[in-house]
Amino acid sequence: MFRLAHFSDPHIGPLPSVSFRDLASKRMVGYLNWRRSRMLAHDMPLLSRMIADIHTQHPDHIACTGDLVNIGLHSEFEPAARFLSEVGSPEHVSLVPGNHDAYVRSSQVSIDRFLGPWMQSESGRYEGFPYIRLKGPVALIGLSSALPTFALLATGTLGAAQRRRFSEVLDFLGNQKLARVVMIHHPPYRGGATLGRQLTDAAAFEDIIAQFGAELVLHGHNHAVSTTHLDGPHGTCVPVVGVPSISAIRGSKTHRAGYHIFDFEMKDTGISISAHARGLLDNDEIGFINPISL
């Protein structure tokens, strides 16, 4: 059996000191939003407890689907890299970026420098997206929907070139005895997020899955538990599972801090996947919440 843990959207705080020059862009809106509400919604001691709980589940690998930082400041990325090091080495943790990581155009330099080791391909190099990592019976496929946008927008886009390579990767891996697990930040289906927060080419993603299939798609972004299914080839259904923010201290049971565990088992009929959720309980303990129906 191979065990994969999935978490997302830690939104590591507090924000470092900022200058007026730092905020002379879209970051001003993000900074005000952090001060008004986000800093109260994300709890760093809880984040540490959640990561410790992940380790008690002894995953063989850990997937993170982005939004480590908040407004894409250069000074946010070194703490983000330290956090990832505490979660696990680049060999044991795979990352895709979120829209907050790519908050402004200049953030990409920091993503490459500090987060690149956790987004390496099977060749051991950071070569962009999609990347592929082979872990036991699982082929992790990392996509980037993270692009800088105008203020008040949190949309994501894959783009034609990445979609083309993604199709080729799914087609090639579909001939192997592997579970293809797709990692992306934004929910990659139509209606997956509200207007202004959606994946702009979600319909094209659905078309790719319909043609080539996958065994599992993981995403974050909505800070909520969700499960849907996309049509795959030959009448198959592909589960798409969203996870809440792993540091969210407040909200309903579907929005409070949590993460998911996926167990992959090779059987005569193929690879079987089972899943369950763990997270913050009503008594402020961390524990089992419910099985996830795939």
Q: Whole-model pTM?
A: 0.96
For residue range 153-162, what is the model confidence (pLDDT) as tens digits?
999 999 999 9
| Cβ–Cβ < 8 Å for 230, 212 | no
The SS3 assignment for 171 reads helix
**What is the average pLDDT score of the chain?**
94
- Quick check: 25 pLDDT over 80? no
Give the strand pairing for 270-280 and 258-267.
Answer: antiparallel
For residues 179 and 273, give the distance between their C-alpha atoms in angstroms, rounded to a whole number.
9
Number of domains into which the chain is organized: 1
By C-alpha distance, which of 92, 210, 79, 197 is closest to 146?
197
238 neighbors 230 (Cβ within 8 angstroms): yes
Q: How far is CA 191 from CA 21, 71, 206, in A?
A: 37, 25, 12
In this prediction, residue 251 carries a pLDDT of 73
Question: For residue 131, what are the β-bridge partners?
Answer: 142
pLDDT single digits (tens) 242-292:
999 999 997 777 789 999 999 999 887 788 999 999 999 999 999 999 999
Digit-coded pLDDT (tens) for 148-206: 998 889 999 999 999 999 999 999 999 998 999 999 999 999 999 999 999 999 999 99
| CA quadruple 245, 247, 253, 259: dihedral sign | positive
- Please tell me the predicted confidence (pLDDT) of residue 38: 81
Spatial CA neighbour of 139 closest among 177, 111, 97 = 177
Give the residue numbers spanning the domain of 121.
2-292
Phi, psi of 27 (to 5 degrees): -60, -25
| Residue 92: other Cβ atoms inside 10 A | 13
Task: Please state whether beta strands 93-95 and 216-219 pair in parallel, antiparallel, or not at all (unpaired).
Answer: unpaired
Give me the pLDDT at residue 88, please.
98
Cα(240)–Cα(93) distance, integer angstroms: 20
Instruction: Identify the CATH number of the domain in which residue 205 sits.
Output: 3.60.21.10
Which helix (H) or strand (E) element contains residue 237?
Answer: strand 237-242
pLDDT tens digits along 32-66:
777 787 878 899 999 999 999 999 999 999 999 99
Taking only the tens place, the pLDDT of each residue in 126-151 is 889 999 999 999 999 999 999 999 88
